[in-house]
Structure 1
Amino acid sequence: MASPRVVSRRRRRTQASSSKKEKEDDTKCENCGSGDFGSKLLLCDDCDRGFHLFCLRPILASVPNGSWFCPACCSSNRRRRRSNTPLSLSGFPLVQTKIIDFFRIQRSTEKAACQGTIHKKRRRARSLATSKKRRRLLAFSPTEDSARRLEQMASLATALTATGAEFSNELTYIHGMAPKSANCSDYEKGGMQVLSREDTEALNLCKDMMRKGECPPLMVVFDPIEGFTVEADKFIKDMTIITEYVGDVDYLQSRENDAGDSIMTLICAADSSKSLVICPDKRSNIARFINGINNHTPEGKKKQNLKCVRFNVDGEARVLLVANRDISKGERLYYDYNAYEHEYPTEHFV
């Protein structure tokens, strides 16, 4: 599959004719009319017109994989199938059996066997937040209405299906990538904070609830500018665990030229060959669709209502997204993509 073209990359092609080079140097964005930011000026593989990544709707965070066609050239069904935009947004069927299969939810017979234990754990988890000074993590509180939970899961299934990913709620270790033994929190440069026993219980409770179809109270909503976004579907308390950031675990050095826009640091090691990242392009959960703030504006920073924190959990590195304040129903979720490393370009984020 051909790679997408950006102006800066095309200028480095030595086989291009001088007249073509001059034409490429004059390429301007069809939306804003500027020829600046050449590395972000994406060229359509059909009409050869240029578009800034941040001028497209929804905004593209990075150069996509494969061939790329502008919105005008995607109008026919033939182009729509070949291009990676626009996404197919047909809703996932609101059929309980299909959603159970998609999320591999534990069947009711298995759920009944563990129900008493789970309720005991849930009461214990709530008690962790009785003292504000202790700042214990809280397990999320699922929506009580099972029909509404079905809609929440269907919204996530729609987003995952549209982006060509399957659901996973755990870190995955694939042959040919980083093995599970490579995920050692001791490799973290400067050390990694240990998740306490009580907070680990809250995390495990979240995992148990998810396995039983009791998902966090969130809806995935498609926005014409931001793309897929995540909204709170009920009030969420400060310090609530929203989700774990999951996907395939790989070595950073294997992903340095990866075009993915959702890669998350798992371990930042003093020995760079041991640094690990999470790649959610093939297997992921709702964390992939939570957007980042614009680090360059006060308004962008005010939107932040989650924090991204890495923990040592039983000797392994894990990444959690946690509410850093109370979140109202209907509020969109945002966190700082550059909390650890200032490498993600957010200046054009809404």
Structure 2
Amino acid sequence: MKRRVKKYKSINDIINHVIKPAVVVEYEVDDDDEYKDTVCDECGSGDRDHQLLLCDKCDKAFHMTCLRPIVVRVPIGLWFCPTCSDHPPQLKSFTQTKIFDFFKIKKCTASPVKRISPQDSRKRRRLMVHHKKRRRLLPFIPSEDTERRLEQMGSLASALTSLNMEYSDDLTYSFDMAPRRANLASNEKGGMQVLTKEDTETLEYCSTMLRRGECPPLRVIFDSCEGYTVEADGPIKDMTLITEYVGDVDYIKNREHDDCDSMMTLLLAPNPSKSLVICPDKRGNIARFINGINNFTPESKKKQNLKCVRYSVNGECRVLLVATRDIAKGERLYYDYNGYEHEYPTHHFV
């Protein structure tokens, strides 16, 4: 064995790996003398040998922090260095026609402006008086400039294409993964908060805007250290619904040895074999490129501007990413992936 391999002892270890990346995981190391004097091909140092990865093709070694983008955890299965990797070429630009085809946009029109009557305004003020602690989700506001929206969608299309992914804005169920009937919010351990009627309407309204080609003001960019990441391309208000986390739905037990770094918890059942995760490695949306952070450190907490919250929507579990404060243009988006312990009941957040 040439590399350090992550070792799971039980299904709980797998759940902790998916939900609590900050948990310390033991590694099994081979003390074979053949790799005793291995040094990093990038920096030339043999220090921090516990961080060295050996390419399964050329046998060259690299520190996880010397790679670009940095490898944040030991890969499971075969690993190839950047030279030996067969990554599909990144597309630099998309025409308007190709963008429309990529996102299956039929017609791109402006969002209808909702006029608030004086009666509705007075009613809303009365509701705010009686429900001061209740905060409702806000729909995202697309950029008014059509050209800018095309650039935003083009950045997402390029990132998805570079990872050989298809665009999807819904949870998908394949015959060889978990069936849709497995996604029952009633199976959630300890129960799950039901999304209110008003917030459900906001979710549907955002989905309608996406189908018209009106995306949230976000741009996918590539960073040499963080890889693909997402930044705000316009101001975003607190409590704005950014996006839904989507992808293929599968049982956690089927993903024990999956090296995808973006799996998201969907359902935690009392019986671990019925727990579900979202796997955006083949299909997904912009949520795939929003970075999760370890909020156990003060510096990381300062970065957090989104919250990952799970809701029951029409009896199914859904994962929403919501702004926790006002976000300025140019600010990168980060959600807290260590929020599991305090995620329920979610009234502490909403």
Q: Counterparts of 2:98 and 2:196 in 1: how far apart (Å)? A: 37
Q: CA deviation at 1:25?
A: 4.0
Higher relative contact order (Cα pairs below 8 Å, separated by 6+ residues): 2
Q: Indicate if the aligned counterparts of 2:194 and 2:311 stay in contact, CA closer than 8 A.
A: yes
Q: CA deviation at 1:302?
A: 0.4
Q: How does 1:35-184 map to 2 (within 5 A)?
A: 35-36=47-48, 38=50, 40-64=51-75, 68-71=79-82, 74=83, 79=84, 82-84=85-87, 88-93=89-94, 95-107=95-107, 119-120=113-114, 131=128, 133-184=133-184
| Cα distance change on mapping 1:195 and 1:122 into 2, 3 Å | farther
- Greater CA drift, 313-322 or 49-58: 49-58
The runs of 4+ residues in structure 1 deviating greater than 6 Å are 11-14, 121-124, 127-130
Q: Which has the higher helix share?
A: 1
Q: Counterparts of 1:273 and 1:122 in 2: how far apart (Å)? A: 49
Q: Indicate if the aligned counterparts of 2:2 and 2:35 stay in contact, CA closer than 8 A.
A: no
| Cα distance change on mapping 1:272 and 1:294 into 2, 3 Å | closer
Q: Which amino acid aligns with 2:145?
A: D
Q: Counterparts of 1:120 and 1:12 in 2: how far apart (Å)? A: 59
Q: Indicate if the aligned counterparts of 2:290 and 2:333 stay in contact, CA closer than 8 A.
A: yes
Q: Counterparts of 2:232 and 2:254 in 1: how far apart (Å)? A: 35
Q: Indicate if the aligned counterparts of 1:7 and 1:24 stay in contact, CA closer than 8 A.
A: no
Q: Counterparts of 2:209 and 2:169 in 1: how far apart (Å)? A: 11
**1:6 equivalent in structure 2:** 3
| Cα distance change on mapping 1:161 and 1:148 into 2, 3 Å | same
Structure 1 segments unaligned to the other structure (5+ residues): 343-350
| Cα distance change on mapping 1:198 and 1:34 into 2, 3 Å | farther
Listed one character per residue, the Cα deviations across residues 200-231 of structure 1 (whole Å, up to 9, x for unaligned) are 11111110000000000000010011000100
Q: Normalized against structure 1, the TM-score is what?
A: 0.80
Q: Which amino acid aligns with 1:240?
A: T
Other structure's SS at 1:173 match: coil
- Indicate whether 1:287 and 2:287 are aligned: yes
| Cα distance change on mapping 1:121 and 1:159 into 2, 3 Å | farther
| Cα distance change on mapping 1:251 and 1:7 into 2, 3 Å | closer
Structure 2 segments unaligned to the other structure (5+ residues): 7-26, 343-350
- Indicate whether 1:306 and 2:276 are aligned: no
Q: Normalized against structure 2, the TM-score is what?
A: 0.80
Listed one character per residue, the Cα deviations across residues 147-191 of structure 1 (whole Å, up to 9, x for unaligned) are 000000000001000011010000000111111110000111111
Q: Counterparts of 1:69 and 1:51 in 2: how far apart (Å)? A: 10
Q: CA deviation at 1:294?
A: 3.7
| Percent of aligned positions that are identical | 58
Q: Counterparts of 1:41 and 1:32 in 2: how far apart (Å)? A: 11
Q: How does 1:260-271 map to 2 (within 5 A)?
A: 260-271=260-271
Q: Counterparts of 2:164 and 2:341 in 1: how far apart (Å)? A: 28
Other structure's SS at 1:340 match: helix
**2:45 equivalent in structure 1:** 33
Q: CA deviation at 1:314?
A: 0.8
Q: Counterparts of 2:311 and 2:303 in 1: how far apart (Å)? A: 24
Q: Which amino acid aligns with 1:61?
A: V
Q: Indicate if the aligned counterparts of 1:27 and 1:35 stay in contact, CA closer than 8 A.
A: no
Q: CA deviation at 1:26?
A: 4.0
Q: Indicate if the aligned counterparts of 1:128 and 1:198 stay in contact, CA closer than 8 A.
A: no
